[in-house]
Amino acid sequence: MSIEHAPGLVIQRFTPPLKLSDFRVIAFDMDSTLINIECIDEIAGAAGKKAEVAAITEAAMRGEITDFKESLRRRLALMEGVPATALEQVYEQRLQLNPGAVELMQAARAAGLTTLLVSGGFTFFADRVRERLGMDHAKSNLLEIADGRLTGRVIGDIVDGEEKKRQLLALCEQVGCSPSQAIAVGDGANDLLMMHAAGLSVAYHAKPKVREQAMVAINEGGLDRLLEVVLP
């Protein structure tokens, strides 16, 4: 059973209000959750392949491509040879924080929560977003660059849904809390494993599959709408 708590804010499987201070950890996806874009699609634009890459991204986000690692490899391969300067251009010209991100992060820090950005995107953006929002930790994929151009590969293991869940659980262990004291916020199928592991799952302007499985779905407005049901 779901209840529309207020226009564009749907609550399922729990009765509000809760308090932020009842939680110890809050984890966020980055692309289309904390920020307004899918960075990989915007980088692909520099290679004239945005539509092709975006179609794969969309299918992966909807859960139609179940192997996230393979979908990322396919998209990265299309970007081989893109100048690394395209990353700075995307960050400066296209990337914006989503509404309410600053306010929600401030409230989480004030309530004593440890904050985590965990993304299937790239460290170039994730580290900057983490710093911009004053978050504690960030984990994402490191793009391989050679001679000033993208090679179409990442360095090390790819951060997928399993790794997002692992990062959330590891942080809970680090701070000494149960996963039931964690909040996970995301928008795509790749976020579902960490959302299922957390005590409170939040879908932000998410794909239908994610909205249906989340405990809170923010379908209108900013991230700070979570504070309407999880009180500061």
Return the active site residues.
29, 31
CA distance 165 to 120: 12
Please state whether beta strands 2-6 and 200-204 pair in parallel, antiparallel, or not at all (unpaired).
Answer: unpaired
Instruction: Report residue 46: phi and psi, to 5°.
Output: -70, -20
Token pair belonging to 16: 């509000």
Query: Which amino acid is present at 20?
Result: L
32 CA to centre of own chain: 7
Burial bucket for residue 223 (CB in 10 Å: 0-12, 13-18, 19+):
buried
Burial bucket for residue 17 (CB in 10 Å: 0-12, 13-18, 19+):
exposed
